[in-house]
């Protein structure tokens, strides 16, 4: 996948751009990112915000090794399928954006 393909998938899956990064937010704080995708020139990284406020890199992979799951479309290689609660958080964010419109 490319940077643009990952961005398009994220925005279609309920992510929103906050501070220049596709991000997910808590339902209680919809303007504060707690999960973000850092999309650099050759590498995509998944970062989660710790309670102390620092970002921790959970996974990082080059674009050439990231492939969309044929059934869900979720980019593989960044651990999006393996982090508990992330799918639910993505659905909450997607629902909130739909009801906002």
pLDDT tens across the length of the chain (101 residues): 999 999 999 999 889 999 999 999 988 888 899 999 999 999 999 999 998 889 999 999 999 999 988 888 889 888 887 777 888 888 888 888 887 76
In sequence order, the 6+-apart residues with CB closer than 8 A to the CB of 86 are: 24, 35, 80
Task: Give the tens place of pLDDT for each residue, 17-34.
Answer: 999 999 999 888 888 999
Residue with tokens 């279609």: 12
Element (H, E) at 7: helix 3-12
- The residues with which 62 forms a beta bridge, in sequence order, are 43
Question: Is residue 57 within 8 Å of 39, Cβ to Cβ?
Answer: no
Candidates 46, 82, 81; CA nearest to 61 is 46
Count how many domains the chain has: 1
pTM of the model: 0.86
Residue 60, domain extent = 3-100
């Amino acid at each position: 996948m490319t940077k643009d393909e990952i961005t398009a998938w994220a925005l279609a899956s309920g992510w929103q751009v906050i501070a220049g990064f596709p991000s997910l937010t808590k339902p209680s704080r919809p303007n504060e990112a707690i999960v973000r995708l850092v999309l650099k020139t050759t590498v995509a990284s998944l970062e989660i915000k710790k309670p102390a406020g620092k970002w921790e890199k959970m996974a990082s992979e080059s674009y050439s090794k990231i492939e969309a799951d044929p059934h869900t479309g979720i980019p593989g290689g960044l651990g999006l399928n393996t982090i508990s609660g992330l799918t639910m958080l993505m659905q909450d964010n997607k629902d909130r954006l739909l009801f906002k419109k």
